[in-house]
C-alpha cells in the first residue's frame, strides 16, 4: 500500500526506492509521484511512496462474511456494519463505483473520523468472502432533516484516479516503439496501479505522445478504441485491457413475465445512428489520407453519413479499416440500450453478474420480438433492508469488437 516516508537529510529517490523496494528501479516511479520535489531531501521532508504495482495484491479480510451473498464493507481496513442501502456498479469499459447510505452521529468520534471529507480512505467490498470492489472513498454527503441524520458515501475503484488526473507534470510523455500495455504501465505506475493485458499486446507505432492535459484514462481509452479493446477497473484495484466477448455462451436466458426478470426498459438514440461511417486517415504533404467506409445495411432508404479522423493521440495513423469498423460497432452499442431488472445478484450458474458476458431476452412489450443475445455492459447490484436486485445494462453484440449485428431485436 502507499505510504509517506519521512526523509533523512541527504536521502534521494534512489535511496528511498532501495529502502522500500530493495531496488533502485522504482526511483523514477517515486519521483513521478512527487512532482516539484528535488533530491537530495532535507530532514523530515514528506515523500509519497506509491505501492509497487508488481507486488501481490493484499486480499481484504472478510471478517465473518461467509454467507453466499453477505456483503462486507471495510473502510481503512475496518469493517463498517451500519450501512442501510448499497449500490455497486460494475462497468465493462470504465471504473467501478459504489454508493451507500448510513446513519450519521456527529457526536460519535469514530463516525466523524470515518467520514471526514477529502481523506480518500481506502474502501473494499466482498460478497460471500470474494472481492468485488477495491477503491477509495471519494464523496461524503451528510444530510440533516428533523427525522434523520444520514450520510451518503460514494467511492470509485482505485483506478478512478486515472480518470480524474493527468500525468505527473515532470513525466516525459514521448514514448518510442511503445505498446498499449507498456504505455499504460508507465502512466499508471506513479499511482501504484497494476496493469494487466488480456490477449496479445498492441503496438502503438514508432512514436506516441499522450496529451499532458488529458486524463490518463482518456488517453488510454482513445488509443484502445480503434483497436477494438476496452479498459476496465478490476476487483483487486488494478486495470485490465481486454477484447470484448462474442456471442454464443449466454449466462442466463430471460423472458417477459418469467422470474427472476422483473422489468425491462429500452432507450434509443436515433441521432447517433448513421447510414455510412467513414474513417479518414492522417493527411500527408500533397496527399489525402486513406479512407474506409462501413455501410450500415440495416438503415435502408435514409441517408445519414458521418465521418471521423483516424489518429492516435499525436497523429500516428492507426489502421483505418480496423478503426472504422470499430467505430461502426460502437455506433450500434450507443444507439440502443436496455436495462433488465432482475431479482437476484447471481446468474444461472450461481456466479455474480459480470460485464463482458451475454444474456438472451425475449420481451415483446419492450420490442424484443424474438430471443436475442445481448452483451452486458454494466451491472448495478443493489441492496436495501427489503430487497436485493440487479440491474443489467445490455447492448447489442459487436459494440466493442467491430462486428456489426446480424440481427436487430425489433425486426
| Structural domain boundaries in the chain | 3-49, 71-157, 162-242, 252-395
Report d(CA 153, CA 378) in Å as an integer.
Answer: 21
Is residue 127 within 8 Å of 391, Cβ to Cβ? no
Q: Sign of the CA dihedral 71, 75, 80, 86?
A: negative
Q: Where are the beta strands (DSSP E) in 12-96?
A: 46-49, 71-75, 78-80, 85-91
- CATH assignment of 3-49, given 3.40.50, 1.25.40, 3.90.550, 3.10.350? 3.10.350
Report d(CA 324, CA 280) in Å as an integer.
Answer: 9
Is residue 139 within 8 Å of 97, Cβ to Cβ? no
3-class SS at 27?
helix
φ/ψ (deg, to 5) at 409: -60, -30
> For the domain bounded by 162-242, which CATH number is listed?
3.55.50.10
Bridge partners (DSSP) listed for residue 276 = 295, 305
Give the pLDDT score at 60. Answer: 41
- For residue 356, which of 399, 388, 406 has the smallest C-alpha distance? 399
CA dihedral 234→237→241→245, nearest 10 degrees, is: 0
71-157 belongs to which CATH class?
mainly beta
Let me know how long the chain is: 411
Give helix 180-188 / helix 216-224 axis angle, nearest 10°.
170
pLDDT digits (tens, 9 = 90+) for 199-241: 889 888 888 999 999 999 999 999 998 888 999 999 999 999 9
The string of DSSP codes covering 319-332 is PHHHHHHHHHHHHH
Predicted model pTM:
0.85
Where the chain has pLDDT below 70, the residues are 1-2, 54-66, 283-289, 312-318
**Is 295 exposed, middle or buried (CB count within 10 Å of its CB: 0-12, 13-18, 19+)?**
middle
Cis ω for the linkage preceding 72 (within 30 of 0)? no
- Asked whether the domain spanning 162-242 has the same topology as the one spanning 3-49, the reply is no
Report d(CA 199, CA 320) in Å as an integer.
Answer: 21
- For residue 250, which of 402, 332, 406, 354 has the smallest C-alpha distance? 354
CA distances from 81 to 84, 91, 139, 325 (A): 9, 26, 19, 48
- For residue 374, which of 348, 393, 391 has the smallest C-alpha distance? 393
Give the pLDDT score at 2. Answer: 61
Residues with Cβ within 8 Å of residue 133, at least 6 apart in sequence:
88, 96, 98, 123, 124, 125, 155, 157, 235
Give the pLDDT score at 63. Answer: 43
Give the pLDDT score at 315. Answer: 41
Amino acid at each position: 500500500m502507499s505510504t509517506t516516508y519521512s526523509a533523512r537529510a541527504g536521502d534521494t529517490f534512489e535511496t528511498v526506492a532501495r529502502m522500500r523496494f530493495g531496488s533502485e528501479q522504482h526511483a523514477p516511479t517515486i519521483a513521478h509521484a512527487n512532482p516539484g520535489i528535488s533530491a537530495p531531501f532535507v530532514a523530515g521532508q514528506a515523500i509519497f511512496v506509491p505501492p509497487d504495482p508488481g507486488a501481490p495484491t493484499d486480499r481484504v479480510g472478510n471478517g465473518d462474511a461467509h454467507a453466499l451473498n453477505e456483503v462486507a464493507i471495510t473502510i481503512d481496513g475496518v469493517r463498517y456494519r451500519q450501512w442501510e442501502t448499497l449500490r455497486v456498479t460494475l462497468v465493462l469499459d470504465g471504473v467501478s463505483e459504489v454508493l451507500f447510505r448510513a446513519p450519521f452521529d456527529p457526536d460519535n468520534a469514530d463516525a466523524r473520523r470515518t467520514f471526514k471529507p477529502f481523506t480518500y480512505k481506502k474502501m473494499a467490498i466482498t460478497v460471500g468472502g470474494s472481492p468485488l470492489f477495491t477503491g477509495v472513498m471519494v464523496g461524503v454527503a451528510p444530510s440533516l432533516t428533523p427525522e434523520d441524520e444520514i450520510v451518503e458515501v460514494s467511492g470509485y475503484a482505485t483506478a478512478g484516479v486515472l480518470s480524474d488526473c493527468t500525468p505527473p507534470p515532470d513525466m516525459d510523455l514521448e514514448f518510442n516503439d511503445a505498446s498499449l500495455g507498456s504505455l499504460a504501465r508507465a502512466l499508471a505506475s506513479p499511482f501504484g496501479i497494476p496493469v494487466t493485458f488480456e490477449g496479445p499486446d498492441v503496438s502503438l507505432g514508432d512514436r506516441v505522445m499522450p496529451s499532458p492535459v488529458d486524463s490518463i484514462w482518456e488517453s488510454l481509452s482513445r488509443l484502445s478504441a480503434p483497436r477494438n479493446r476496452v479498459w476496465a477497473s478490476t476487483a483487486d484495484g488494478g486495470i485490465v485491457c481486454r477484447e470484448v466477448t462474442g456471442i454464443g455462451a449466454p449466462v442466463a436466458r430471460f423472458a417477459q413475465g418469467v422470474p427472476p426478470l422483473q422489468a425491462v426498459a429500452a432507450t434509443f438514440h436515433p441521432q447517433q445512428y448513421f447510414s455510412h461511417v467513414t474513417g479518414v486517415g492522417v493527411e500527408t504533404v500533397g496527399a489525402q489520407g486513406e479512407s474506409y467506409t462501413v455501410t450500415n445495411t440495416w438503415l435502408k432508404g435514409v441517408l445519414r453519413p458521418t465521418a471521423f479522423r483516424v489518429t492516435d493521440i499525436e497523429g500516428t495513423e492507426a489502421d483505418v479499416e480496423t478503426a472504422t469498423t470499430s467505430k461502426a460497432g460502437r455506433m450500434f452499442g450507443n444507439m440502443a440500450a436496455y436495462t433488465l431488472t432482475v431479482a437476484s445478484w447471481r446468474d444461472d450458474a450461481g456466479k455474480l453478474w459480470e460485464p463482458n458476458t451475454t444474456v438472451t431476452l425475449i420481451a415483446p412489450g419492450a420490442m424484443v420480438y424474438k430471443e436475442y443475445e445481448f452483451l452486458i455492459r454494466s451491472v448495478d447490484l443493489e441492496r436495501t433492508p427489503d430487497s436485493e436486485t440487479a440491474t443489467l445494462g445490455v447492448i447489442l453484440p459487436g459494440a466493442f469488437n467491430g462486428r456489426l449485428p446480424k440481427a436487430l431485436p425489433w425486426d
